[in-house]
Amino acid sequence: MICALTARRIADGKTSEFIEAFSTGADNMPDAIRDRFKAVYACRDVNDPQVILTFGLFDGTLDELRALQDEDVRTEQLNAMGPLIEDVLFDSSFEVLHEFVGESSAATH
């Protein structure tokens, strides 16, 4: 599984428009692509409300994710979000090594 993570500084007063552009891109993905994502989140920095972190958990390989990111739907999404972004602070993908939440505890009381 791959975690794709990006932190962006959004133009003042444009957070709602950014979230709409981000979610519209996800809504327009073919089901075969969207179904590969276990979860996708958009989060606001509690200390700087102009910083929005987006990340998704992709059930596949890095090569498969990169191929999907080259799709026209992703390009349209980036074009819609572009004018709303002041700066990209961080953008990378990470291989998930271990999932801690969801594990059952073997301990008995």
Domains present along the chain, CATH in parentheses: 2-95 (3.30.70.100)
Better pLDDT: 22 or 32: 22
CB count, 10 Å around CB of 33?
A: 19
Q: Is 84 exposed, middle or buried (0-12, 13-18, 19+ CB in 10 A)?
A: buried
pTM metric for this prediction: 0.81
pLDDT at 107 (0 to 100): 52
| SS3 label, residue 69 | helix
